[in-house]
Structure 1
């Protein structure tokens, strides 16, 4: 049995030595879902050389609490440990561990993370969701998985290999843990008898060196190998959008956009905006939707990473929006009614026809059952 992606020659992924502006990035890569490697752009970050030093990290951020995975070959059933960064740096070369730590401004460590030019317009910055640091002594292997967010991964030390599958082949990828978006396939020894569809897929390979940044489109499947030496990367997740918002403002500011800016200057929006829960797919040809249909469509689009409680709360908010926006109380919501309703809702607002709070659990279970 061979490692994943070994059954046929890989397809190439585009590489560029320059960084596009935000509009070009959105139009040519994000909107069509085309992966691309930007070679060497992170070498311009002012801390690029500092981040190669454990002493620098220990001195500047030794007290930073980090989440530590307990096996370099990813196993999502293993509970992680927590410790401060200084303690981790004292053991990570000897133990089978690596850091996967989410960072939120204004935490001090976010001054070490930089947002490249291609994201420095409001259309992207308003949708920044999560920033994660990955630090190991090398040799980590991820499961085969996909993510519900757009992703820009920048390698600051070591190298990484991304084995990729286009999201259009989703029906052939054996994601047997759909709630968490990953496959149980052994990425080092693929059993083609158990997972025969993996032998029919075209693969893409992206090889990253220190200083490279790689755009991974939402829902593309990937498996990641890190080099056998010290490995440090920071990735930025943001929520996708069907159009580039604030395009005109961005176009006017293109000449003034810097090559990068520190993440510390921004705030992440890792919640869910009500307007982002209303999708065109929920509406029929005549432009209306029922409550149950709106909830079903929305539930399918919620990020896999969300906990069940968060999903339930999202559906509660959407239910409130439905009844507030249904101006003529015909139990059908139109696109016009949505666009004319403020997205900020009055807490605990209920109309006479609203589903009572104690019935939400039953409604939520009904949605899940129908899916």
Structure 2
């Protein structure tokens, strides 16, 4: 893929528990150099990849781990099979000891099989890890996951929560796109996707610009973050990111949190409901509904409903209360019954 021109913001003044608010409230990604350098897992990996693996083994509680295995022919790209009826990796459950043994068995292979442990909650499989390797985000109560494997390429996708992704062992490369680039990324099916997230169908290692011509426009807006062991990436929710693990053994720790109340639900649900009820309306009606969505949702400003008495605003209350949210959810469930 052609070199990208847009530099990513970098900070060298952030440490666990000492992340300035302007970083955590940024609407763009920021690379935090050396953020987790003092973590035990990082220090073990600097000594040797095997030492890092031994550190993980020492905390492992024995529960089987979901793992993706792919043949050498996929060259690390976790993706669909040829007809997009399934995936090019086999999902199995195995002991972490077996997984690590297999990774190191193929560490020197020029084309190893792909071995990829994705999004595994650390407190469930590695008790004590999060306390020993803390990002200091306790006030946000993040979901902390570990990702383990050899060289891999994960298709561009987005996540709703904010993320602090810490490269603990090895090297990672993130290719990042702002949310408005979605139309230029050629996103695949919503019902079936690797990892359960909509993904770009473009092969970043060998993009087919004849098939995906608008991808060149996406590249004009892209940023690249290269993470060494101990670096972290603050990634705002909804940014598209393609992730490459670049070394024979890699460990990533992610911290996901949302900055809105959980009772508000998942925005994806609203998108799916809009596909059901709005997308196939005639153009004039879609335009009319767009005006309503702009008024009530996307262009909403405090004070827009001041002409309504407070005790009569209902779902238009700002902010929406947990009780109003429960009431609205119940009404929606009832209306969706067919």
Q: Which residue of 2 aligns with 1:49?
A: 43
Question: Does 1:81 find its partner at 2:112?
Answer: no
- 2:242 corresponding residue in structure 1: 223
**Where does 1:63-102 land on structure 2 (aligned, <5 Å)?**
63-71=62-70, 72-75=76-79, 77=87, 78-93=89-104, 94=106, 95-102=113-120
1:233 matched to 2:252? The reply is: yes
Matched, 1:40 2:30: no
Per-residue CA deviation, residues 271-318 of structure 1 (Å, 9 max, x unaligned), is x832x2499xxxxxxxxxxxxxxx847957xxxxxxxxxxxxxxxxxx
What secondary structure is seen at the aligned counterpart in 2 of 1:143? Answer: strand
> 1:155: which partner in 2?
167
Q: Tell me: CA distance 1:175–1:331, structure 2 relative to 1, closer, same or farther (3 Å).
A: same
Which residue pairs with 2:59 in the alignment?
60
Q: Separation in 1 of the partners of 2:319 and 2:37? A: 49
Change (3 A) 1:356 1:207: closer
Q: For the residues of structure 2 that align with 1:39 and 1:200, how far apart are their CA atoms?
A: 29
Equivalent residue runs for 1:202-351 within 5 Å: 202=220, 203-241=222-260, 273-274=262-263, 276-277=264-265, 296=270, 333-335=315-317, 338-339=320-321, 341=323
**8 A Cα contact 1:277 1:298, kept in partner:** no
TM-score w.r.t. structure 2 length?
A: 0.67
What does residue 23 of structure 2 align with?
29
Aligned twin of 2:201:
184
Instruction: Give the superposition deviation at 1:195.
Output: 0.9
Describe the SS at the equivalent of 2:101. Answer: helix
The 1:273–1:222 alpha-carbon spacing in structure 2 relative to 1, beyond 3 Å, is closer
CA distance in 2, matches of 1:57, 1:209: 19
Partner of 1:135: 148
Structure 2 spans left out of the alignment, 5+ residues: 71-75, 81-86, 107-112, 192-196, 275-309
Q: 1:61 to 1:24 in 2, by over 3 A?
A: closer
C-alpha distance in structure 1 between counterparts of 2:177 and 2:206, whole Å: 18
Aligned residues: 269
Q: Superposition RMSD on alpha carbons, in Å?
A: 3.6
d(CA) in 2 for partners of 1:167, 1:133: 25
In 1, Cα distance between the equivalents of 2:313 and 2:228? 55
Aligned to 1:15: 10
8 Å contact kept, 1:13–1:36: yes
Q: Distance in 2 between matches of 1:108 and 1:356?
A: 36
Per the TM alignment, residue 79 of structure 1 is displaced from its structure 2 partner at its CA by 4.2
Instruction: Compute the displacement of 1:99 (Å).
Output: 1.4
CA contact (8 A) 1:177 1:184 kept: no
The gaps in structure 1 that reach 5 residues or longer are 242-271, 280-294, 301-327, 363-371
Task: Decide whether the 8 Å contact of 2:7 with 2:223 is kept in 1.
Answer: yes
